[in-house]
Amino acid sequence: MKKLLTLCMATAISFSAIAADGIKQTTGLVVAGGKPITLLGKQVYVGSQAPNFRVVNERFSPVKLSDFAGKTVMLSVVPSLDTGVCSLQTKRFNEEVANLPDSVAMLTISNDLPFAQKRFCTTETVEDITVLSDSVWRDFGEKYGLLIKDMGLLSRAIFVIDGSGKITYKELVADISMHPDYDAAIEAVKEAANIAVEVTTEHEVTQSN
User: Catalytic residues, which ones?
Assistant: 86
> 205 CB contacts (<8 Å, ≥6 apart)?
none
**Of the candidates 110, 98, 89, which has an alpha carbon nearest to the alpha carbon of residue 185?**
89
**Of the candidates 99, 59, 75, 61, which has an alpha carbon nearest to the alpha carbon of residue 199?**
99
Angle value at C-alpha 15, between 37 and 153, nearest 5 degrees: 25
Give the Cα separation of 97 and 102 in Å (integer): 9
**Of the candidates 149, 120, 150, 117, which has an alpha carbon nearest to the alpha carbon of residue 134?**
117
Give the Cα separation of 5 and 121 in Å (integer): 49
Strands 62-64 and 72-77: what pairing? Answer: unpaired
Give the Cα separation of 68 and 129 in Å (integer): 14
Angle value at C-alpha 176, between 41 and 24, nearest 5 degrees: 15
